[in-house]
């Protein structure tokens, strides 16, 4: 996801050494945030050292070993006891994969009779990577630096289970694939979690997450030309992620409700001629256009966007 604004505070000039970073601006907000992150990071590291999964990770016969759920720090708004809700949702949208929790580790097995969709394929690939990808589960009451988290918080490894589960199935898939791919694209994420990652590294990882979303959309819609287009944070705090097809339509993923603890994504399509469709309506239109005559009746058109309206019309 987008990085939270809390990480956008002015940074001390010296960033490559933690001791210098601490002394650079002892009373600044960034200092306090850094302290928070460092504190949490140390706790996480200590928990990891004490964890039995270190041994599991080193076992040579382990192949699936990497995507883990974990509790946040002591006293934080933990959703760890609801971890089964995450697994249940993943299974509900999978056709050929059974996800299970083995302690804190998410594993998968093939489910007979189905064909794995792109979400399942990407999840399987993430699970069989060498790197450990932790998810520290919190509720929507969890904050960083006093601010609510939008789905996830990269530096700390947080995942807001309430936000994640609040989106519809496609949004859930896109958001989960995004931040796990993001974490997989940061070198040694597991052990650096709890520190502040350099902006260029985060930006690169974030872009990989958006590209993974585009891959999922290409598969869901059946259009190999869909690419990540742009993202923006509107003045009212609404977050927009846009994907574009060579056919001229765009797919938007939008998070409204800035400032609210629980936020979910809404996904819609804006056609070249300015109509707004659901993804299912787009699929139906494309299927009808591709079918030999006599074509299936077109779905009812969605409410048109006023001509000349720039971009998606958002409240």
In the complex, the residues that contact Zn ion under the rule CB under 5 A are: 1, 182, 206, 209
Q: How far apart are CA 307 and CA 305, in angstroms?
A: 6
- Comparison of 1 and 180: residue with beta carbon closer to Zn ion: 1
- Comparison of 1 and 214: residue with beta carbon closer to Zn ion: 1
Q: How far apart are CA 55 and CA 52, in angstroms?
A: 6
How far separated are the first and last CA of the chain, in Å rounded? Answer: 21
- Comparison of 44 and 180: residue with beta carbon closer to Zn ion: 180
Q: How far is the CB of 209 from Zn ion (least distance, A)?
A: 4
Nearest residue to 221 (alpha-carbon basis) of 265, 180, 253, 251 = 251
Q: How far is the CB of 153 from Zn ion (least distance, A)?
A: 10
Q: Determine the Cα angle at 294 with ends 290 and 300, to 5°.
A: 70
Which residue's CB atom is positioned nearest to Zn ion? 206
Per-residue buried b or exposed e for 156-169, using 16+ beta carbons within 10 Å of the residue's own CB: bbbbbbbbbbbbee
- Comparison of 94 and 181: residue with beta carbon closer to Zn ion: 181
Q: How far is the CB of 205 from Zn ion (least distance, A)?
A: 7
Nearest residue to 242 (alpha-carbon basis) of 305, 310, 186 = 310
Q: How far is the CB of 142 from Zn ion (least distance, A)?
A: 18
- Comparison of 94 and 185: residue with beta carbon closer to Zn ion: 185
Q: How far is the CB of 37 from Zn ion (least distance, A)?
A: 17
């Amino acid at each position: 996801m987008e990085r939270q604004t809390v990480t956008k505070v002015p940074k001390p000039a010296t960033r490559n050494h933690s001791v210098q970073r601490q002394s650079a601006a002892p009373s600044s907000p960034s200092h306090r945030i850094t302290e928070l992150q460092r504190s949490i990071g140390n706790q996480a590291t200590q928990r990891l050292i004490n964890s039995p999964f270190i041994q599991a990770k080193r076992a040579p016969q382990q192949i699936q070993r990497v995507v883990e759920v974990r509790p946040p720090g002591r006293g934080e708004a933990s959703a760890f006891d609801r971890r089964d809700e995450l697994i249940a949702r993943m299974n509900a949208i999978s056709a050929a994969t059974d996800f299970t929790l083995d302690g804190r580790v998410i594993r998968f097995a093939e489910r007979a009779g189905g064909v794995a969709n792109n979400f399942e394929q990407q999840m399987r690939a993430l699970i069989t990577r060498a790197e450990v990808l932790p998810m520290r589960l919190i509720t929507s009451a969890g904050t960083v630096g006093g601010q609510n988290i939008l789905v996830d918080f990269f530096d700390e490894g947080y995942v807001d289970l309430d936000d994640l589960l609040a989106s519809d199935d496609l949004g859930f898939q896109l958001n989960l694939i995004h931040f796990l791919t993001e974490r997989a694209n940061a070198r040694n994420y597991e052990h650096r979690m709890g520190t502040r990652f350099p902006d260029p590294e985060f930006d690169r990882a974030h872009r990989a997450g958006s590209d993974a979303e585009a891959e999922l959309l290409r598969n869901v819609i059946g259009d190999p030309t869909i690419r990540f287009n742009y993202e923006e944070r509107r003045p009212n705090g609404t977050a927009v992620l846009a994907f574009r097809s060579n056919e001229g339509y765009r797919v938007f993923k939008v998070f409204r409700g800035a400032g609210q603890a629980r936020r979910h994504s809404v996904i819609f399509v804006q056609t070249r001629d300015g109509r707004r469709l659901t993804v299912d309506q787009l699929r139906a239109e494309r299927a009808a256009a591709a079918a030999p005559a006599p074509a299936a009746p077109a779905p009812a058109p969605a409410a048109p966007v006023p001509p000349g309206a720039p971009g998606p019309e958002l409240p």
